[in-house]
Amino acid sequence: MEIKGGLLKAIKEKVEYTSVEITPDDSEVLVDLKASSLNRRDLWIQEGKYAKIRLPCIVGSDGSGIYDGREVILLPSMKWGSSASHQSTDFEVLGMPHHGCCAEKIAIRPEYIFDKPSHLTHLEAASLPLSGLTAWRALMTQGQAKPDQKILITGIGGGVAGFVLLFAVAHGMEVYVTSSSDNKIARSVALGAVGGENYRNPESYTNLTKAASGFDVIIDSAGGGDFHKLLKIANPGARIVQYGGTQGAMDGISPQILFWKQLTIKGSTMGTREEFANMLEFINLHRLRPCIDKVFPLSEVNQAFDYMKSGSHFGKIVLDHS
């Protein structure tokens, strides 16, 4: 079957909006996609900074659409396997090697199809799956977040960090953020954060300690040379969850702080279908709306990529397929 979609033909090439031949296998059904969204993962694949790249492939891990008359969204975590603690060696993320969601239709197994939260538009729902699931697992499963606890979210502005903010506020936590942008900090406060610090300010860690006196949960996507400072502003028994490594290797971590405070540093990526279902239940219960930064038509998928590269967004970059 011929469909139109955003095809990445090779590493370092532009994504091309073009006709692609897809052939569903016997286990797959066709979903009409109404919206999709981009993730940093899509950029990494385009830049060749991802493991086991197999191209050409339609990009996009996040989709919302219609299947069998139902409004649905798709679980992007494929072949996770049987262990809740980690994914299997067969694990794949939707949108490479399996054709992704930036297209008119997708052929996918029914087990990856979930009911769309009815209070959300397709554009909002399409912004949920990958970032929301990653945020949910990092916050709730690995971070063991509880109401009234204090949480620090580093590098606010990215998709996952935005969902951590959304969920943590709804969960009744006291939320602080860091960013290199004062504007993003102000927007976080408008969305329910108590405060934030610009990490380019050398006093930022001192200020955070003064403001919050210490954090029970820290959700970090940076790693790098400043990561060890997070241990100092963590409360005894705190969980520091790491889901990204934009700043590279972590140095200077004190074993004495780690063991005397009984801290947990926990790596997290994606999530299970049970976590996805729990996240959707939470979103329905609290009638949460994801934060969309900008909408492009599907045919401008390449312009959407360029916009994501600029890094100035706050919230998700969504493609409208209508």
Report the interface residues with a second copy, using CB under 8 A.
83, 85-87, 142, 223, 227-228, 236-237, 242-245, 248-269
Residues 6 or more apart from 12 whose CB is under 8 A from it?
46, 47, 48
Q: CB-wise, 64 or 149, nearer to a second copy?
A: 149
Q: CB-wise, 222 or 283, nearer to a second copy?
A: 222
Q: CB-wise, 236 or 311, nearer to a second copy?
A: 236
Prior bond of 255 cis (ω within 30°): no
Q: Please give the distance of CA 216 from its chain centroid, rounded to a whole number.
A: 21
Q: Which H or E run includes 95? A: none
* Cβ pair 270, 134 in contact under 8 A: yes
Q: CB-wise, 172 or 252, nearer to a second copy?
A: 252
Q: CB-wise, 124 or 226, nearer to a second copy?
A: 226
- The amino acid present at 66, given as its one-letter code, is I
Extract long-range pairs of 163-166: CB within 8 Å, 24+ residues apart: 163/128, 163/131, 163/132, 163/134, 163/135, 163/136, 163/290, 164/135, 164/138, 164/139, 164/219, 165/191, 165/192, 165/193, 166/135, 166/191, 166/288, 166/290, 166/291
Residue 236 is encoded by which pair of tokens? 């005894």
In the complex, minimum distance from the CB of residue 317 to a second copy, in angstroms, rounded to a whole number: 23
Q: Which H or E run includes 315? A: none
Q: Which H or E run includes 247? A: none
Q: CB-wise, 179 or 268, nearer to a second copy?
A: 268
Q: CB-wise, 182 or 251, nearer to a second copy?
A: 251
In the complex, minimum distance from the CB of residue 95 to a second copy, in angstroms, rounded to a whole number: 17
* Cβ pair 162, 316 in contact under 8 A: yes
Residue 104 is encoded by which pair of tokens? 């008119």
Q: CB-wise, 228 or 273, nearer to a second copy?
A: 228
Give the Cα separation of 115 and 57 in Å (integer). 26
In the complex, minimum distance from the CB of residue 219 to a second copy, in angstroms, rounded to a whole number: 12
In the complex, minimum distance from the CB of residue 279 to a second copy, in angstroms, rounded to a whole number: 17
Give the Cα separation of 162 and 107 in Å (integer). 29
Give the Cα separation of 24 and 251 in Å (integer). 47
In the complex, minimum distance from the CB of residue 180 to a second copy, in angstroms, rounded to a whole number: 18
